[in-house]
Every structure is written in C-alpha cells, then in structure tokens.
C-alpha cells in the first residue's frame, strides 16, 4: 500500500514522518479534531496499517515507534470516547443479538438497494470501498485467539479456518474478494482504493483494528465478530443477486454466494461457542460484548447513510473517481 494524500494536519504529520520528511509528530490532538472525520480516521488507519502488511517505502520499525504509538493512543482515545458517548447500547447480549437476528420485512439498507436497483457502477464503488477490509478479511479477529480460552477460542478458530480457505490458498476469502474486484474491472491491489475511501468506511475498519489490538477490548472484538457473522448471510444473498442481475461476473457472484451458506453456519457457532463461551468464562465482559455489537451496527449505519444519500441523488459515493 502506498502513502495517501493527507486530509488534515494530523494525517499530514503521520504521512510526512512515515515518508521520511517530517521531523516530529504533534504533541496532542487539536480540541476540535472530529473523531469521525477524514483527518483522524486516516491518521489512525495509517498507524494501524503498520501492524498489517505495512506501507510501501516505510521502514517496518515504525510499527513500534514510541512517539507514533503515543499519537495513535491519543487518536484511539478520541475515537473510543466518542463511540462510548454516542452509541446507544442494548441492556444485555440477548437483546442485542435478538435485534440482529430479526430481518426487517421491507429492508432499506445498502444490500437491499444494490439487490433491487443497483447498477454496476454502484457495485464497483461498493466493492472498492469494502476492499479496505475484505482484502484483509478476518485478519483483525485473529488477534483475539491468544486472548480467549476454551469454547470461545475453539469456536473462533473454527470460523477463522473457513475464512482463510480451510487450508486452500485459492479459497481464502481475501483472495475471493480480489477475484470479485477483477470481475468488476477494479484493481485488486491491496490498499489501492484508500484514496477513494470515505471517513465512514475507514471508521468501520479502524473499529476492528482498535478492538483487536487491545487485550482489554477482547469482549468488544467478540461482539464485533458476532455482528459481522450474524448479519452476513442475508446481506450476502442480496449482494449475490445484485452481482448476478447486473452481469458482474462469476467470481463476483461466487464471493457473496460463498458467504450465504458459510456464514449461516458461522452464526450458530459464534452465538453459542464464541459469545457463549466467553461469557461463561468471563461474565463481566458482557457490557464490552454489547458495546462491540452496537458500535459495529452504529458505524455501519453511518456508512449506509453516506452511500445511499449519494446514490439516491445519482451521485458518486467515493472521494475520488475510481
């Protein structure tokens, strides 16, 4: 992945330092720095990317640089504090899961729009934005493995085994998504569409990195994992139909078709073994699991609003042309 264009003073400072031109990182965050805005989210995304595949031309030693970690910590606190203040949370895990499992009769979300009336250019934009996660699909959740025990660990690893192709490189879900992008005429290069990614989509990816990198947030990461797996199957069915209706190509259809059946099974494992196992071992983690579930849905709703507002007005939803 290449270093992107800055979106404000914080991301500019991170980019300058990582690129070798900056001398010092800011001592703190400006008081008016928007926790959900482009500048904070891009700066945080770049800090996290050092823990994944790295950034072209950036020395790997930056991953554990104390000053960069200090800035990352300030960015994380601003983001996390805002989420804790803004996200409405359910009283318990059972009520949060029940709401996720209830499919509305007349849905109005992104997958409904793409299934019913989306055109290929909508699908291309959606795939480009989602590539910021799907090209590293399941990677953030692996950080939970050494932090769990018993049923929770075994259940999470069982689901992750499927996400990573059950031992077959050609079936790794990130590879399947790259094939989907190629079918849509997109560049499947890792991080290729970071410039196009809005603050809303960066926040959805940063959330799982935030939860994954902090052992204290392992309950929230399990909640995030549950939210993703439980909502995946019905949404994937609609997206497979959208790809087929628009003639997107066999690989584009296959990616979502693969998730329909697999994630229906995963949903059962996640609810009973991962969430159930964690709470059996650590019942005090329930508020964290609920927060992870609800913060995931809240940020996904913000992204959906951004996409649907633009698309319904006949406008592009990406920051720069694909």
| % of the chain with per-residue pLDDT over 90 | 90
163: tokens are: 């996400």
Tens digits of residue pLDDT in 108-137 = 899 999 999 999 999 999 999 999 999 999
Question: Are 253 and 240 contacting, i.e. CB atoms less than 8 angstroms apart?
Answer: yes
Confidence of residue 55 (pLDDT cuts 50, 70, 90): very high
Assign 105 a pLDDT band (cuts: 50, 70, 90): low
Return mean pLDDT, the chain: 95
Question: 151, 149, 138, 133: which is closest to 49 by C-alpha?
Answer: 133
Q: What is the pLDDT of residues 235-251, one digit of tens each?
A: 999 999 999 999 999 99
Q: What single-letter DSSP state applies at residue 27?
A: S
pLDDT tens for 258-294 read: 888 777 788 889 999 999 999 999 999 999 999 999 9
Instruction: Name the token pair of 142.
Output: 């692996």
Task: Tell me the pLDDT tens digit for each residue of 65-81.
Answer: 999 999 999 999 999 99
Give the chain's count of helices (H) and strands (E): 14, 0
Residue 179 corresponds to which tokens in the numbers above?
């094939």
Burial group, residue 203, by CB count within 10 angstroms (0-12, 13-18, 19+): buried
Domains of the chain: 9-86 (no CATH), 93-312 (1.20.910.10)
Q: Is residue 279 within 8 Å of residue 285, measured between CB atoms?
A: yes
Contact 36, 199 (CB under 8 A): yes
Whether 49 and 41 have beta carbons less than 8 Å apart is answered as no
- pTM of the entire structure? 0.96
What's the CA gap between 266 and 64, in Å, rounded? Answer: 34
User: Could you give the 3-state DSSP secondary structure of residue 26?
Assistant: coil
Q: What is the pLDDT of residue 103?
A: 76
């Amino acid at each position: 992945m290449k270093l992107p264009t800055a979106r404000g003073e914080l991301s500019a400072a991170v980019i300058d330092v990582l690129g070798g031109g900056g001398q010092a990182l800011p001592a703190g965050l400006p008081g008016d720095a928007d926790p959900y805005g482009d500048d904070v989210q891009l700066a945080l995304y770049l800090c996290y990317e050092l823990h994944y595949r790295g950034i072209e031309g950036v020395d790997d030693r930056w991953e554990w640089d104390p000053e960069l970690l200090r800035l990352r910590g300030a960015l994380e606190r601003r983001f996390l504090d805002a989420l804790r203040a803004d996200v409405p949370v359910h009283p318990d895990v059972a009520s949060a899961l029940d709401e996720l499992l209830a499919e509305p009769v007349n849905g109005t979300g992104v997958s409904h729009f793409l299934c019913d009336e989306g055109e290929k250019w909508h699908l291309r934009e959606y795939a480009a934005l989602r590539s910021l996660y799907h090209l590293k699909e399941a990677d953030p959740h692996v950080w939970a493995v050494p932090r769990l025990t018993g049923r929770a660990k075994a259940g999470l690893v069982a689901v992750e085994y499927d996400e990573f192709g059950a031992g077959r490189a050609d079936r790794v879900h990130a590879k399947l998504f790259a094939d989907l992008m190629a079918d849509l005429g997109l560049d499947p290069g890792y991080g290729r569409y970071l410039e196009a990614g809005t603050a809303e989509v960066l926040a959805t990816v940063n959330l799982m990195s935030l939860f994954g990198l902090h052992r204290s947030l392992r309950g929230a990461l399990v909640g995030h994992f549950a939210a993703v797996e439980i909502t995946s199957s019905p949404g994937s069915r609609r997206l497979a139909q959208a790809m087929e209706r628009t003639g997107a190509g066999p690989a584009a259809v296959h990616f979502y078709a693969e998730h329909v059946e697999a994630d229906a099974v995963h949903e059962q494992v996640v609810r009973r073994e991962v969430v159930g196992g964690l709470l059996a071992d650590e019942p005090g983690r329930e508020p964290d699991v609920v927060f992870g579930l609800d913060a995931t849905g809240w940020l996904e709703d913000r992204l959906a609003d951004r996409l649907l507002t633009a698309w319904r007005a006949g406008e592009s939803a990406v920051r720069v042309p694909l």
